[in-house]
Structure 1
Amino acid sequence: MQVLMSVKEAGRLAVLSQVLQRQLSQAQAAQQLGLSVRQIKRLCRRLRTEGEAGLISRRRARPSNRKIAQAVRESVLQLVRQHYRDFGPELAREYLAREHGFIHSSETLRGWMIEAGLWQPKPRRAARVHPARARRACLGELVQIDGSHHDWFEGRAARCCLIAFIDDATGRVLGARFEASESTQGYLGVLERCVAEHGAPLAIYSDRHAIFTKHDREDPVPTQFERALLQLGIEPICAHSPQAKGRVERLFQTLQDRLVKAMRLAGIDGMAEANAWLPGYLAAHNARFAVAPRQAADMHRPWLGSRHELSRICALHHRRSASGQGVCRFEGALLQIEAGQAHAPRAGAMVEIVQFADGRLELSWRGQILRHRAWGWHEHLKGGKTVDAKAINDRVDAIVLKERRRLARLAAQIEHQDAQRRAGIYTPDGGAGAPRVAAQRYGLRPARSAATQSP
């Protein structure tokens, strides 16, 4: 019978053979093998009586004393198949531990899932092409912001965009919100909540999209987002590449895996429901992934003004000229400034119009609020026609959907008319019967054939 030995056991055989041939003493063999002299005597005794097979471990081919019962393994795999089939081993272990009392390690579950065909082992990551930048030292020094367009609800609702703000020093998600599209108003809304809850950071790091900066360096007028940052005393910084703001990019990679599955298990099927549920998830996410800063100081500056003042800063600001009658035109509406106000603007003055997220409008001139009344004039102009590059796809998708609905209604009408003709009904309010022959042509009566037409 062929004896299979491990490398360790083969090394012991070579040394013990020298002991039996009296080329080495037992003390020298014990020193080479790292064993006691007493153990060397036992191994020499086995080698004399049983031969080379005596050096093979007695535990070979026996199950471990700590082996997990097969029934436990099958029950865990059944839970994974039912609830966590597309989960990774680490994420599945977290849910199993929280929901089902699983007490074993991620590597144990990983091995089970690989053997059961529920997980494919991934190759090792390639070396980083872009070296990682060191984190900032303090919380609130730098906040990275971005938006991610994704099928967050896995087809249960329309695709949308998640806008997120993440602190560079700790990796803590300071704020996030689902929006229909990546827009200026969406970013301003998250900014308002972050400043109200945490304070104003020293700097915000974004990409170079038109929401955040203008490509014409000679244009002195800031964008809406830049104007809000300047009023809050926050320094805007733009990145030259996505890799430069890799922390927020990696955040979205994590959320597109974990957040999507969490909303599926929680039964979240829409943006409004998701936004109400999101703060609790972010608290658990920060407890799991956020790290402590190198320095304990918090560089956020608390907001000392009123919430209305903050909402006004984080709204959209426009300028319109007032007519001689005190009327401003804005997005198809006529805004009539009420007479009798001591600080009413003169004709031709540029009035500032503040457009809040909920649709409210506020008029002011030289810092004084103006009472006004609004009349809808051209409803098709409401909301404006200007759309930036990040929102163009959503606008076109809405147009395509409207056209498809129109074509579907038209197809249904044609199908209904064809069914009526097959039933012998040729007028909208007539009964079944042969088509009437009359000079007038109306309703659903088909055209007469060439044979019946008069010359």
Structure 2
Amino acid sequence: MRKVELRMNEEIKYKTIKKLIETNGNKKKAAVKLNCSIRTIDRLIVLYRTKGKEGFVHGNRGKAPSTAIPLDIKNKIISYYINEYSDTNFTHFCEIVEEDFDVKISDTTLNKWLWEEDIISPKARRKTKKKLKSKLNKRLNNTKSEKNKNNIKESLEILDSKDAHPRRPRSKYAGEMIQMDASSFEWIPGAIWHLHLAVDDATGEVVGAYFDLQETLNGYYNVFYQILNNYGIPAMFYTDKRTVFEYIKKERAFDDEDTFTQFSYACHTLGVEIKTTSVAQAKGRIERLNQTFQSRLPVELRRAQITTIEQANEFLKSYLKKFNDKFALRLNSTKSVFEMQPADDVINRTLAVFSERKVDSGHCIKFRNSYYKLITENGIQACIKPKSTAIVIEAFDGNLYANVLDNIFIMEKVEDHKKVSRNFDEESKKEKKKKKYIPPLDHPWRQNNILHFKNYMKHLNNGAHV
């Protein structure tokens, strides 16, 4: 006869009914003691007489709950995490499991399963890491196998704690403050790119994202373009002290690296304030966002089989919507202070890169190892006095223009050889010169405005009041 073990509440029921039957006791007293009805007492008496002590064992003892996930599925999910998604936080991985296996589990359940395997989330807090270290140290002291000891020691070395960013109140209005930064990371295996990000401080909505090989003006211009095109003109950018945002005196003034004429001048033109800080914790919203993207985005890029930076930038368009739907705050009371979206041609002219060059004796400008003619709107090459100062303007769409004494010309590349012969090719006889469009000389491209802003920033850099 097998030994029957009862739990505490089952043991109390068993002893009460046994005593009641053996002493022919009072059923009402037994019902009060067990907090049940007399009818239940009668049922327990029948159970005792037919099955004895074994009858008081709960019927579901040892059975898996009907809602429990089968063991083979559980092991498959754990193996999937360890082999494919060990760098993914638990909440994100639960979303992946639901998509790939059509199995819905909570992050608490996943945490319990992986804790049994000595695995914690990449985003685990210091308290959790400390608890796991204590667990591993106890096992290390009780293990005699050198192989197991080495495995435990390796796990202990991986557990490094990181300080969290301090909290601060969010801005009151959407568009009041946009935090910007670039994150260098191995987004796909073997490729380290810089992800330029912008997040609205009030809502936590990612308003712009762009991959580039380095932290560049081009990257921030593309983010700025997304903000202007999708939301409008913000009130302020909050950034770190990069040369993209702040003037730093250079030996070759007014070059395409002399960036006060670039991003800050575009902001100056649109009336956007730039505030910078050298303390990363001061702009904790964007720093935490960088960590979130470093945790989630590489996994999503891998799932989408992204292999090039062009594909990654295209993927960001759909991913940002999915990310914002999940994480951005949806507050009906949050008022937007974004100004009206500028027209496309205004954005194109504002997000321009300016470079100073000299006109050579052949009435051309050398730019990026190529020579360019200056063409009027009638398609005629302009003859400019040699050594005249010209401001090369690279519009956001890539078209090149030149400002010479507040006259705008189209820059046309001088080819090594003519593509068509006027004397021997019939095609050239059919060609007619078309009038070319030259953007109007409005505020962003005026030479005096650019030079004045240059001098203004130099005075600020030297501590003078202008």
TM bin (shorter chain): 0.5 to 0.7
CA contact (8 A) 1:315 1:356 kept: yes
Q: Which amino acid aligns with 2:110?
A: L
In 2, the alpha carbon distance for the partners of 1:39 and 1:318 equals 95
Is 1:211 matched up with 2:244? yes
Match of 1:105 in 2: 106
Contact 1:88 1:119 in 2 (8 A): no
Question: Cα distance, 1:312 vs. partner?
Answer: 2.0
Q: Which residue of 2 aligns with 1:224?
A: 262
Which of 402, 408, 418 pairs up with 1:369?
408
SS at match of 1:302: coil
Q: Deviations over 1:260-311 (max 9, x none)?
A: 0111111110011111122111111111111124733221112333x23312
Distance in 2 of aligned mates of 1:153 and 1:79: 19
Q: What secondary structure is seen at the aligned counterpart in 1 of 2:393?
A: strand
Correspondent of 1:137 among 168, 172, 176: 172
Could you give the per-residue CA deviations for residues 41-97 of structure 1, whole angstroms, max 9, x where no partner exists?
799999x99999999877665544543333443454565567545544322221221
Match of 2:119 in 1: 119
For residues 109-188 of structure 1, what are the structure 2 equivalents within 5 Å? Answer: 109-115=110-116, 117=117, 119-120=119-120, 124-125=125-126, 131-155=166-190, 158-188=191-221
For 2:280, which of 242, 250, 261 is the aligned residue?
242
Alignment of 1:351-390 (within 5 A): 351-356=390-395, 359-365=398-404, 367-375=406-414
Query: Cα deviation per residue 1:201-243 (whole Å; 9 max; x = unaligned)?
Result: 1111100111111257xx9993421111111111101123111
Secondary structure in 2 matching 1:269: coil
Shift of 1:330: 4.1
**Aligned length, in residue pairs:** 364
CA gap 1:344/1:203 in 2 versus in 1, 3 angstroms? farther
Residue in structure 2 matched with residue 69 of structure 1 by the alignment: 70
**One of 303, 309, 313 as aligned partner of 2:350:** 313
In the alignment, is the contact (CA less than 8 A) between 1:43 and 1:55 conserved in 2? no
Amino acid of the structure 2 residue aligned with 1:290: A
Alpha-carbon distance in 1 for matches of 2:212, 2:300: 19
User: Are the equivalent residues in 1 in contact too, given 2:178–2:199 (CA < 8 A)?
Assistant: yes
User: Shift in Å at residue 178 of structure 1?
Assistant: 1.0
SS in 1 for 2:187: coil
Distance 1:112 1:130, change over 3 A: closer
Partner residue in 2 for 1:194: 227
**What is the SS of the residue equivalent to 1:250?**
helix
TM-score under structure 2 length normalisation: 0.63
In structure 2, the partner of 1:386 is: none
Structure 1 residue 108: Cα displacement: 2.5
1:121 & 1:194 partners in 2: Cα distance?
33
Distance change in 2, residues 1:11/1:180 (3 Å): farther
Q: Which residue of 2 is the match for residue 92 of structure 1?
A: 93
> Deviation of residue 179 (structure 1)?
0.7
Q: Secondary structure at the match of 1:137?
A: coil
Q: Name the amino acid aligned to 2:239.
A: S
Q: Look up the equivalent residue of 1:134 and give its one-letter code.
A: P
1:251 matched residue in structure 2: 289
Other structure's SS at 2:188 match: coil
Deviations 1:137-178 (A, max 9, x none): 2221111111111111112xx321111111111111111111
Alpha carbons of structure 1 residues 214 and 338: separation in structure 2 relative to 1, 3 Å:
closer
Cα shift readout 1:323-352 (whole Å, capped 9, x = no counterpart):
6875545444444545999x9877765432
- The separation in 2 between residues aligned to 1:80 and 1:39, in whole angstroms, is 52
SS of the residue aligned with 1:151?
strand
What is the RMSD of the two structures over their aligned residues, measured on CA atoms? 4.6
Pick the aligned partner of 1:273 from 311, 336, 346: 311
The alpha carbon displacement at 1:354 in A equals 0.6
Change (3 A) 1:3 1:108: same
Which amino acid is 1:271 matched to?
Answer: I
Q: 1:257 to 1:321 in 2, by over 3 A?
A: same
Structure 1 unmatched ranges of 5 or more? 378-455
Cα distance in 1 between the residues matched to 2:44 and 2:57: 13
Query: The residue matched to 2:246 in structure 1 has which SS?
Result: coil
Distance in 1 (CA, whole Å) between partners of 2:86 and 2:285 is 28
Please give the alpha-carbon distance, in whole angstroms, between the structure 1 residues aligned to 2:226 and 2:396. 13
For the 8 Å contact 1:169–1:293, the answer to whether it is kept is no
